[in-house]
Amino acid sequence: MRSEYIVPIGPDGIYEIKTGTWRTTDPRIDQDVCIRCGVCLMHCPVGAVKREEGRFTIDLEYCKGCGICAHECPKGAITMEGRLSA
């Protein structure tokens, strides 16, 4: 048995799959525009947004490039930059 749990909960699964390999566009946070509200962290479906020393950063190992954070950011501080077209 690999898991001590009987149900799918965070410590087992959330960082099991490197969803970053699915990404076709990269998120970029403009730290000068960011107001540190945390809306991006709350909405990220794969838990890829982290708060480090008061700043929000995105772990590209897990960001699958869905763009929800960019859509939800109240200041438009996050942009999705194309990889395929680059």
Nearer to other proteins, 8 or 82 (CB): 8
d(CA 13, CA 62): 12
Contact 11, 55 (CB under 8 A): no
CB of 13 to other proteins, least distance (A): 4
Question: How many CB atoms are located within 10 Å of the residue 41 CB?
Answer: 16
- Which residue lies nearer to other proteins by CB, 59 or 79? 59
Cβ pair 70, 34 in contact under 8 A: no
Binding site for other proteins (CB under 8 A): 1-3, 5-14, 16-17, 19, 46-47
- Report the residue number, 3 or 24, with the smaller CB distance to other proteins: 3
